[in-house]
């Protein structure tokens, strides 16, 4: 197998990816063997044969190329406690996050966590990520996170949330408004919506604040021209607060809102989301491993006409790669529908192609970027991933969507391109020092665990 030659051109370079197996996720184009012309960071053309003139040619016949994956909700700040929360249920998770760990995060911890979390996602082919950042313990925390995201090089929507402290005040029928620092970030730091790192509001919403506070926060987001992402239908809070219904009563729903999880929303609430164009995302891995979330709402959303994006949520208790998330979403949905004995006979529910769509084009819609990313379509940004056709875990290559969803893993992502610029090539992240990044994370992790032990001692005495 020959690896493609290194593309020397930066983001405004012009080149042709030649002879690849294209999974465009563009309904008009479908799958075909052909070329992609990239220029000025954009996909200029995708066709069976393109004459690129003087453009550099990358021999890509050994590769599948598909649009970069989209994660529509992840908390990268939780990277220092990655893979340690598998046995925490939802109430315990809140204690760990907002009492044992969150209050002790320093700006440098947020920098280390965000840099590591974003780079690891990029390495796994997640070209676009919405970073749901409820660790705003000071303005410097946001500044350091944004610095890390810009350094990492992916496309990221930085969703500014509340501080990671005092959950009783901030997250229990709270009357505290969204931190005012979001205005500074909008006006001074992330005012350009065409940049790679952009801003959104990670609002607590009606399951964590009073409805008046939610209304106030959303008014602020809309005044600032920001999209809004809200956890909803989470565990017992879904039926307790009926947040979607109450937001609807105040005319707060709309296409600029994304609901995260939706596990325990009512059918009426799913209907309201569809009717108002409100978007949604699911986190099938964490919903199936963490007690108290409720079942992933993938099928319920789809059956009401809301096509959700996929999301990792937290690497505390989920794999950070979207191949695992696609499998979890597919498996959970199939388990639920194929075993629904009430309504036999069941047709096959979600297909591999469907779930690949959730991780790409539907994810783009969920984060409000469907005009720019999510498919290999002329005019969209050249956010692409290259996967070898001859990997042992993917062979034999019949239906590539099924091969990727059932057999794919992050290690298959051999190259990642963001806005035309290669950020990973020949299996190696470019402009990234993994040792430094991991060392920063481990130093931060040690500090945070020492502080958590102090918390434990104080709590025991
Ligand atoms: Zn979350």
Q: What is the pLDDT of residues 170-186, one digit of tens each?
A: 999 999 999 999 999 99
Asked whether residue 460 is domain-assigned, the answer is no
Asked whether residue 447 is domain-assigned, the answer is no
Same domain, 305 and 420: no
Model confidence at 335: pLDDT above 80: yes
Same domain, 410 and 299: no
Compute the distance from residue 349 Cα to the ligand 1 centre, in Å: 26
Asked whether residue 5 is domain-assigned, the answer is no
Which pLDDT score, from 0 to 100, does residue 337 have?
84
Number of domains in the chain: 2
Compute the distance from residue 202 Cα to the ligand 1 centre, in Å: 10
Model confidence at 241: pLDDT above 50: yes
Compute the distance from residue 313 Cα to the ligand 1 centre, in Å: 5
423 pLDDT band, cuts 50/70/90, is very high
Please tell me the pTM assigned to this model: 0.96
Compute the distance from residue 75 Cα to the ligand 1 centre, in Å: 6
Which range of residues forms the domain containing residue 47? Answer: 15-67+383-428
Compute the distance from residue 285 Cα to the ligand 1 centre, in Å: 12
Q: What is the pLDDT of residues 86-110, one digit of tens each?
A: 999 999 999 999 999 999 999 999 9
Same domain, 182 and 280: yes
Compute the distance from residue 414 Cα to the ligand 1 centre, in Å: 29
Model confidence at 2: pLDDT above 50: no
Same domain, 225 and 90: yes
CATH number at residue 29: 2.30.40.10
- Domain end, chosen from 317, 336, 366, is at 366
Same domain, 61 and 76: no
Asked whether residue 152 is domain-assigned, the answer is yes
Q: Are strands 257-261 and 228-232 parallel, antiparallel or unpaired?
A: parallel
| CB of 146 closer than 8 Å to CB of 182 | no
Same domain, 304 and 165: yes
Same domain, 74 and 112: yes
- Using a pLDDT cut of 70, give the percent of the chain over it: 95
Angle at 140 between CA 137 and CA 144, to 5 degrees: 110
Compute the distance from residue 90 Cα to the ligand 1 centre, in Å: 11
Compute the distance from residue 132 Cα to the ligand 1 centre, in Å: 7
Compute the distance from residue 184 Cα to the ligand 1 centre, in Å: 24
Gap between the Cα atoms of 203 and 177, Å rounded: 10
Which pLDDT score, from 0 to 100, does residue 361 have?
98
Which pLDDT score, from 0 to 100, does residue 11 have?
45
Gap between the Cα atoms of 123 and 425, Å rounded: 10
Which pLDDT score, from 0 to 100, does residue 5 have?
47
Which one is predicted more confidently, 408 or 349? 408
Asked whether residue 233 is domain-assigned, the answer is yes
Same domain, 392 and 350: no
Asked whether residue 177 is domain-assigned, the answer is yes
Same domain, 34 and 162: no
Which pLDDT score, from 0 to 100, does residue 343 have?
62
Asked whether residue 270 is domain-assigned, the answer is yes
Asked whether residue 378 is domain-assigned, the answer is no
Range in 12-26, 122-136, 220-234, 433-447 the model is least confident about: 12-26
Q: What is the pLDDT of residues 119-164, one digit of tens each?
A: 999 999 999 999 999 999 999 999 999 999 999 999 999 999 999 9
Model confidence at 344: pLDDT above 70: no
Same domain, 409 and 268: no
Compute the distance from residue 131 Cα to the ligand 1 centre, in Å: 10
Q: What is the pLDDT of residues 37-72, one digit of tens each?
A: 999 999 999 999 999 898 999 999 999 999 999 999
Model confidence at 6: pLDDT above 80: no
CATH number at residue 209: 3.20.20.140
Compute the distance from residue 177 Cα to the ligand 1 centre, in Å: 20
How much is the mean pLDDT over the chain? 94
Model confidence at 412: pLDDT above 60: yes
Compute the distance from residue 19 Cα to the ligand 1 centre, in Å: 40
Nearest to 265 by CA among 353, 333, 349, 206: 206
Gap between the Cα atoms of 198 and 152, Å rounded: 14
3 pLDDT band, cuts 50/70/90, is very low
Same domain, 127 and 30: no
Which pLDDT score, from 0 to 100, does residue 342 have?
64
Model confidence at 9: pLDDT above 60: no
Q: What is the pLDDT of residues 275-311, one digit of tens each?
A: 999 999 999 999 999 999 999 999 999 999 999 999 9
Same domain, 329 and 417: no
């Amino acid at each position: 197998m020959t690896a493609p030659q290194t593309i020397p051109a930066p983001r405004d370079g012009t080149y042709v990816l030649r002879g690849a197996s294209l999974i465009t996720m563009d309904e008009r184009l479908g799958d075909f063997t052909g070329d992609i012309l990239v220029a000025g960071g954009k996909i200029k053309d995708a066709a069976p044969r393109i004459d690129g003139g003087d453009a550099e040619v990358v021999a890509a016949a050994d590769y599948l190329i598909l649009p970069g994956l989209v994660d529509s909700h992840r908390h990268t700040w939780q990277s220092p406690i990655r893979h340690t929360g598998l046995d925490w249920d939802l109430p315990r998770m809140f204690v760990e996050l907002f009492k044992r760990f969150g209050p002790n995060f320093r700006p440098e911890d947020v920098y280390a966590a965000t840099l590591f979390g974003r780079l690891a996602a990029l390495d796994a082919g997640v070209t676009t990520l919405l970073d749901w950042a409820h660790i705003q313990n000071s303005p410097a925390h946001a500044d350091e996170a944004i610095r890390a995201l810009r350094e990492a090089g992916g496309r990221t929507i930085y969703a500014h949330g509340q501080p990671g402290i005092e959950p009783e005040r901030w997250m229990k029928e709270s009357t505290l408004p969204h931190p005012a620092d979001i205005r500074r970030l909008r006006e001074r730091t992330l005012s350009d919506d065409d940049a790679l790192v952009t801003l959104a509001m990670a609002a607590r919403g009606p399951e964590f604040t009073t409805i008046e506070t939610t209304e106030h926060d959303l008014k602020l987001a809309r005044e600032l021209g920001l999209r809004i992402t809200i956890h909803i239908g989470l565990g017992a809070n879904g039926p307790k607060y009926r947040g979607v219904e109450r937001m609807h009563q105040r005319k707060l729903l709309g296409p600029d809102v994304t609901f995260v999880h939706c596990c325990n929303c009512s059918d009426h609430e799913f209907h309201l989301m569809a009717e108002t164009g409100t978007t949604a995302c699911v986190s099938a891995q964490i919903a199936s491993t963490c007690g108290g979330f409720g079942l992933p709402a993938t099928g319920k959303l789809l059956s009401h006409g809301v096509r959700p994006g996929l999301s990792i949520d937290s690497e505390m208790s989920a794999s950070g790669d979207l191949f695992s998330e696609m499998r979890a979403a597919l498996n959970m949905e199939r388990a639920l529908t194929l075993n629904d004995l009430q309504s036999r006979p069941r047709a096959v529910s979600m297909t591999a192609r469907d779930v690949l769509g959730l991780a790409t084009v539907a994810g783009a819609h969920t984060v409000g970027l469907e005009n720019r990313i999510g498919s290999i379509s002329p005019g969209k940004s050249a956010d692409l991933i290259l996967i070898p056709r001859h990997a042992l875990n993917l062979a034999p290559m019949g239906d590539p969507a099924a091969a990727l969803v059932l057999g794919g893993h992050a290690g298959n992502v051999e190259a990642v391109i963001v806005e035309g610029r290669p950020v990973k090539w020949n299996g190696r992240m470019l402009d990234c020092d993994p040792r430094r990044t991991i060392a920063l994370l481990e130093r931060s992790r040690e500090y945070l665990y020492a502080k958590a032990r102090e918390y434990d001692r104080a709590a025991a005495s």
